Amino acid sequence: MKSVDARPYPYPFDPRHTAAVVIDMQRDFLEPGGFGAALGNDVSRLAAIVPAVGQLLHLCRTHQIALVHTREAHLPDLSDCPKSKRARGHLSPGIGDRGPLGRILVDGEPGSEIVPELAPLPGEYVLRKPGKGAFYGTELMAWLAARQITHLLVAGVTTEVCVQSTMREANDRGFDCLLLEDATQSYFAEFKEATLAMVRAQGGIVGWTATVSELRRALEAA
């Protein structure tokens, strides 16, 4: 067993039964011309966490912790995209429309791909999800159960939407989740801080938070 000096109290975990879920580090959210930019956001805020997420990937690969990479992307015919989701915000271009990175949030388009710096390695699980949470409409639960995973290290974007949704879904399914503070980000600084506070409130009602450096120290401890 290992233990991270986390908040609100230490996070014990067994790397053999732990997986890291890296959420939506894709071009549509991190690069100009994608969905994040179409919403009017400063995408450089999200791109800034690429080094920390890269460090997390390296730690997991070094210590043989299973890795899951998620991408929010819809089928080309948008049959898995509710009309309400596509209509929300009256965006132009919006989901399914053509933009500088191809059709926005559509599987197979350049914008739906994970940024090159964080590209999955062969054998790592790449999960396409149609919703915000990683469990909705996917095979994630079955994949984790088959590997006897009980603990999740969570990173990615955005903190208050897809990341928090996934953590809450995981919490209801019995997983103990650690959110890596410097490997997650929001387009809004106050939203990230509020989410971190909500996650670890009331004795860790949703989970724990810690930095990548704190995770490294735990993994490298004798």
Report, as residue numbers or ranges, the catalytic residues: 24, 129, 162
Backbone dihedral angles phi then psi of residue 119, each to the nearest 5 degrees: -55, 135
Amino acid in the structure at residue 202: Q
Which residue in 207, 151, 170 sits closest to 13, CA to CA? 151
DSSP 208-220: EEE-HHHHHHHHH
Which residues, 6+ apart, have CB-to-CB distance to 139 below 8 Å?
Answer: 127
What whole-number distance in Å separates Cα of residue 55 and Cα of residue 117? 11
Element (H, E) at 108: none
One-letter amino acid of 93: P
d(C-alpha 76, C-alpha 109), whole Å: 9
